[in-house]
Amino acid sequence: MSFGKELNLTMLTDFYELTMANGYFEGGLQERIAYFDIFFRKIPDNGGFAIMAGVEQMIEYLDKLKFDEADIEYLRTKGIFSEEFLQYLKKFKFSCDVWAIPEGTPIFPHEPIVTVRGPVIEAQFVETMLLLTINHQSLIATKANRIVRAAQGRPVMEFGSRRAQGYDGAIFGARAAYIGGCVGTACAIAERDFAIPAFGTMAHSWIQMFPTELEAFRAYARTYPQDCTFLVDTYNVLKSGVPNAIKAFNEELVPRGFRPKGIRIDSGDITYLSKQARRMLDRAGFPDCKIVVSNSLDEYIIREILVQGAKIDLFGVGERLITSKSEPVFGAVYKLAAIEEQGEIIPKIKISENVEKLTNPGFKQLWRFFDKESGKAIADVITLAGEEIDDTRPYELFDPEFTWKRKMVTNFYAQKLLVKIYDKGQCVYKMPDLKTIRDYCREQVDTLWDEVLRFENPHTYYVDLSVNLWQLREKLLAEHIVK
Amino acid sequence: MSFGKELNLTMLTDFYELTMANGYFEGGLQERIAYFDIFFRKIPDNGGFAIMAGVEQMIEYLDKLKFDEADIEYLRTKGIFSEEFLQYLKKFKFSCDVWAIPEGTPIFPHEPIVTVRGPVIEAQFVETMLLLTINHQSLIATKANRIVRAAQGRPVMEFGSRRAQGYDGAIFGARAAYIGGCVGTACAIAERDFAIPAFGTMAHSWIQMFPTELEAFRAYARTYPQDCTFLVDTYNVLKSGVPNAIKAFNEELVPRGFRPKGIRIDSGDITYLSKQARRMLDRAGFPDCKIVVSNSLDEYIIREILVQGAKIDLFGVGERLITSKSEPVFGAVYKLAAIEEQGEIIPKIKISENVEKLTNPGFKQLWRFFDKESGKAIADVITLAGEEIDDTRPYELFDPEFTWKRKMVTNFYAQKLLVKIYDKGQCVYKMPDLKTIRDYCREQVDTLWDEVLRFENPHTYYVDLSVNLWQLREKLLAEHIVK
């Protein structure tokens, strides 16, 4: 059993999906085949890339899609849906094809990261939940990956449940953080259901429950001699917390043959306190005792305190990770890319008053080019589906906006990134386990150049269009300009 | 049936709640009575107040608190819990007293907004979920209230499901937004389960599914003549969208005796477009056709475009409301305030390297003073539980930090804000329905002075301590200073 697995979230949908569905039904368009893409426009925190996540929960949602009696009853009360349509919903069964980029993959703006093809009512209806799921987990995986990279090899734990935006903000947030590279979580249910290692020791209240800090430490050490990390900032880190921790280590652990695990500092000047604490622990004969810190950390603070020479072995990151505080929205959208008429694909484009809201028309595939020598990712190319890329020959990339910017690539191999996960409503994708996704994420991030990875002014990774797709877009643009 | 009602979220807890619980159990402290307070330290967006929300979900959680076989099995695999403790968890039943401030009430920093009293294992254990629930919904209710106030009487709809941080980020977010003053939501499940009015018309894809925008509008008007709002920015608002909307209104609605409901603009220069669109609609004989806008709105943008004279009748607010984008964390904490020894209450304080992390000790009550004449809220006073406030006599308020700041209040009445919701594990609180909470919220916000309501540099509302509580805090502080 796993959290949320039994939930039917069919009705977690924007109401307009239902008014449109009924409209298509009334207009006799319910069998019209449509193609929708999910893509995003801007990388959170001005980063160089994002991390795809949420595919597993998207599959769980699609597998259970079903209008039950209560849903139909509710819809009937609205008084705007025809009885025929309500009967149609009763029998509603998802029959679309779906392609998605595997979880853990670095993704870039304007790339199709999910494509849904099928009868327009179905393909349209799933918009809200697909976006919600992919937006949420990609946001947190992306943020976690930034924080993990800032920690430069030191483990990062996800500590944010109490500040998450709702239950699955906490649970699926912990899942996404693990994909992004966290070593574990404080959230017990995330371990029970997703096998994400959960850790935890004590709150300040534990200390306060005892007459003195030392007695609190002793009691804890007696219960957990094998896993003893003390929270040392309840009264005063250097004058009370660390000395008492050392005393308790010496009294309760050493005589019984145990070594201390660590101390945790949750407030104050982390750099100063960690350096002093490190010195005190080393002098007391505990150089193996780790220093854990937690207190409104994020990638910027972690980078800063490490530059200052803070002595930290493990970071616990809470609210700023679990809400992606500095940028709490991953703005992926769901846009019509094509329809079919008599089996022929008719590409569609969305113009807008805002230029960046322009869409890439047609049924598409996404390719990643890797340099054969270094293994590094060179560029992504969006093509029309069915186009092949011959990676035995040089390929000319060109910028879709500034087409004079061109680059010939050689000695590369090209990999398709969109994988089929549903075939006519049947899931055909075997979800990798979470640990595998996490490893894959690390490997894939390693294929990016340092210039793409950096936090400040990262290099804009090339996402180019094939000549065919670019020409199609130009043609549709010209047709749609309203004079 | 209602979303999430059947979920057992017992294991949605920080792992340290379990290590501490086992520690108390091993140390024979499981019957020790403890008092914990929830309070927050900082109002999001530098506002003048926050809105309490989430009590209903807190109750649902507490009512279902139970470790099932799978939970026990999982905990056993950790290898650190005694079998006696696991047996204890099997029989675990929440038996605490709980007090909370009713949903919809304006709340201020450092006030106890929830108090839990009971055996320390139980009272400690519920920390994570109580914080998660109250933090999330109070965050969104507070943000919604800001946005609704910025709209100056124009209705605000919650539109954010697709950008919410998880499923209940969307659903309970819609609930909290409604408490804060939104008139409705785009989220269908929020109407099915919470009777929050849900609305929705069409996406850009509806327009694109038809050969022309005009045909798309006509088809929609034929299906929904009684509720016809067109999205007018798919191609060009003023050259295409609005003229086609007027044409479709005239062709499909007017002859059948219907009036148009509205047009929606989702991109571009909202102020300019809305003014022009208003003029065009008025001239075409549709002064009653509403203009709805939605596009990355929040309280600041709404205020700004209204100052500029935008002609808007209804706002749809998405991502910046559902994630409280400008400040996505409501930082309430859960701190030990007292324990009992032989039936006597022993107050506890938490000192910290960070001054603002100081806690108010003891078992407390919160009072709000209202001016009898104006009905306005004058100040809140935190007292020890059992203290009475005689509002027939003048009362001297004093600032707990700058104690020379004093103010004598007269002609007031004092109201207790903390209400008992659990008595020995039994819920004794009758939840008001959501509409009642929303009305109460509006009334209570109306009791605040304009100076507290404003967005920039709001007046800091007085939250003072009774003389008894202040003296107790000073005494404990003096005792705990580490020299």
For residue B260, is pLDDT > 50? yes
Mean pLDDT of B387-405: 92
Say if the Cβ atoms of A204 and B350 lie within 8 Å: yes
Say if the Cβ atoms of B80 and A224 lie within 8 Å: yes
pLDDT of residue B354: 67
Say if the Cβ atoms of A23 and B70 lie within 8 Å: no
CA angle B124, B127, B130 (to 5 degrees): 140
Say if the Cβ atoms of B132 and A226 lie within 8 Å: no
Closest-CA residue in chain B for A29?
A: B209
- Residue A24 burial class via C-beta count within 10 angstroms: exposed 0-12, middle 13-18, buried 19 and up: buried
Closest-CA residue in chain A for B265?
A: A353
Instruction: Indicate where chain B has its CATH 3.20.140.10 domain(s).
Output: 15-140+328-363+416-460
Task: Give the best residue of B35, B126, B167 to mutate against chain A (max A CB count within 10 A).
Answer: B167
Nearest to A482 among B120, B236, B267 (CB): B236
Q: In which element (H, E) is residue A195 found?
A: none
Task: Give the best residue of A29, A81, A126, A165 to mutate against chain B (max B CB count within 10 A).
Answer: A165
Nearest to A165 among B18, B169, B350 (CB): B169
Q: How far is residue A138's CA from residue A119's CA, in Å, rounded to a whole number?
A: 27
Instruction: Indicate where chain A has its CATH 3.20.20.70 domain(s).
Output: 141-322
Q: How far is residue A173's CA from residue A138's CA, in Å, rounded to a whole number?
A: 9
The C-alpha of B157 sits at a distance from chain A's nearest C-alpha, in angstroms, of: 12
Say if the Cβ atoms of A320 and B329 lie within 8 Å: yes
For residue B400, is pLDDT > 50? yes
Say if the Cβ atoms of B323 and A331 lie within 8 Å: no
Say if the Cβ atoms of A209 and B22 lie within 8 Å: no
pLDDT of residue B300: 97
Partners of A223 on chain B (C-beta within 8 Å) are: 22-23, 26-27
Q: What share of chain B is helix, strand, coil (3-state, %, to 5)?
A: 40, 20, 40
- Comparing CA positions, the residue from A202, A204, A199, A259 lying closest to residue A237 is A204
Contact A414, A404 (CB under 8 A): no
Nearest to B165 among A1, A127, A166 (CB): A166
Q: How far is residue B183's CA from residue B177's CA, in Å, rounded to a whole number?
A: 9
Contact B207, B216 (CB under 8 A): yes
Strand partners, A117: A35, A97
DSSP symbol at A63: H
pLDDT of residue A350: 85
Q: How far is residue B479's CA from residue B481's CA, in Å, rounded to a whole number?
A: 6
Instruction: Indicate where chain A has its CATH 3.20.140.10 domain(s).
Output: 15-140+328-480
Q: What share of chain A is helix, strand, coil (3-state, %, to 5)?
A: 40, 20, 40
pLDDT of residue B1: 37
Closest-CA residue in chain B for A328?
A: B325
pLDDT of residue A5: 59
Closest-CA residue in chain B for A265?
A: B353
The C-alpha of B415 sits at a distance from chain A's nearest C-alpha, in angstroms, of: 30
**Within a 13 Å sphere around the CA of A370, how many CA atoms are in the beta-carbon half?**
15
Partners of B36 on chain A (C-beta within 8 Å) are: 205
Q: List, in sequence order, every beta strand (DSSP E) within B245-401.
A: 262-265, 290-293, 314-317, 333-341, 344-347, 364-371, 377-384, 395-398
Nearest to A209 among B165, B227, B336 (CB): B336
Strand partners, B369: B379, B414
Say if the Cβ atoms of B14 and A237 lie within 8 Å: no
Task: Give the best residue of B1, B14, B36, B232 to mutate against chain A (max A CB count within 10 A).
Answer: B14
Residues near B317 by beta carbon (within 8 Å), at least 6 away in sequence? B147, B156, B157, B158, B159, B160, B182, B294, B297, B298, B302
Partners of A237 on chain B (C-beta within 8 Å) are: 353
Partners of A243 on chain B (C-beta within 8 Å) are: none
Partners of A27 on chain B (C-beta within 8 Å) are: 219, 222-223
pLDDT of residue B483: 59
Helix, strand, or coil (residue B312) = coil
Partners of A480 on chain B (C-beta within 8 Å) are: 235
Closest-CA residue in chain B for A36?
A: B205
Radius of gyration of chain B (CA): 26
Say if the Cβ atoms of B80 and A227 lie within 8 Å: yes
pLDDT of residue A96: 98
Partners of A329 on chain B (C-beta within 8 Å) are: 163, 319-320, 323, 325
Nearest to A206 among B20, B171, B205 (CB): B20
Q: Where is average pLDDT lowest: A51-55, B131-135, B397-401?
A: B397-401
Task: Give the best residue of A8, A10, A12 to mutate against chain B (max B CB count within 10 A).
Answer: A12
Stretches where chain A sits below pLDDT 70 are 1-6, 352-355, 482-483
**Within a 13 Å sphere around the CA of B384, how many CA atoms are in the beta-carbon half?**
16
DSSP string, A367-427: EEEEETTT--EEEEEEEETT----TTS-EEEE-SSSTT-EEEE-SEEEEE--EEEEETTEE
Q: In which element (H, E) is residue A345 found?
A: strand A344-347
Say if the Cβ atoms of A163 and B131 lie within 8 Å: yes
Q: How far is residue B195's CA from residue B197's CA, in Å, rounded to a whole number?
A: 6
DSSP string, A219-251: HHHHH-TTS-EEE--SS-IIIIIHHHHHHHIII
The C-alpha of B417 sits at a distance from chain A's nearest C-alpha, in angstroms, of: 24
Q: Give the pLDDT confidence of A160-194 residue by residue, as tens digits.
A: 999 999 999 999 999 999 999 999 999 999 999 99
Closest-CA residue in chain B for A209?
A: B339
Strand partners, B315: B156, B293
For residue B482, is pLDDT > 70? no
Which overall architecture, per CATH, does domain A15-140+328-480 show?
Answer: Alpha-Beta Barrel (3.20)
Q: Give the pLDDT confidence of B17-60 residue by residue, as tens digits.
A: 999 999 999 999 989 999 999 999 999 999 999 999 999 999 99
pLDDT of residue A101: 98
Say if the Cβ atoms of A162 and B131 lie within 8 Å: yes
Classify B15-140+328-363+416-460 by CATH class. alpha beta
- Comparing CA positions, the residue from B159, B166, B168 lying closest to residue B187 is B159
Partners of A198 on chain B (C-beta within 8 Å) are: 15
Q: A435 is written with which tokens?
A: 């640990």
Q: A288 is written with which tokens?
A: 């193996």
Residues near A365 by beta carbon (within 8 Å), at least 6 away in sequence? A382, A383, A384, A385, A386, A387, A416, A418
A-B contacts at Cβ under 8 angstroms: 334
Say if the Cβ atoms of A201 and B227 lie within 8 Å: no
**Other residues' Cβ atoms within 10 Å of the Cβ of residue B301:** 18
Q: Give the pLDDT confidence of B286-315 residue by residue, as tens digits.
A: 999 999 999 889 999 999 999 999 999 999
Partners of A162 on chain B (C-beta within 8 Å) are: 14, 127-128, 131-132, 135, 334
* Confidence category of residue B150, pLDDT binned at 50, 70, 90: very high
Contact A117, A90 (CB under 8 A): no
Mean pLDDT of the residues in chain A? 95
The C-alpha of B483 sits at a distance from chain A's nearest C-alpha, in angstroms, of: 8
Closest-CA residue in chain B for A126?
A: B162
> What is the CATH number assigned to the segment(s) A141-322?
3.20.20.70
Q: A249 is written with which tokens?
A: 């280590």
Q: A72 is written with which tokens?
A: 């139909």
For residue B214, is pLDDT > 80? yes
Say if the Cβ atoms of A202 and B19 lie within 8 Å: yes
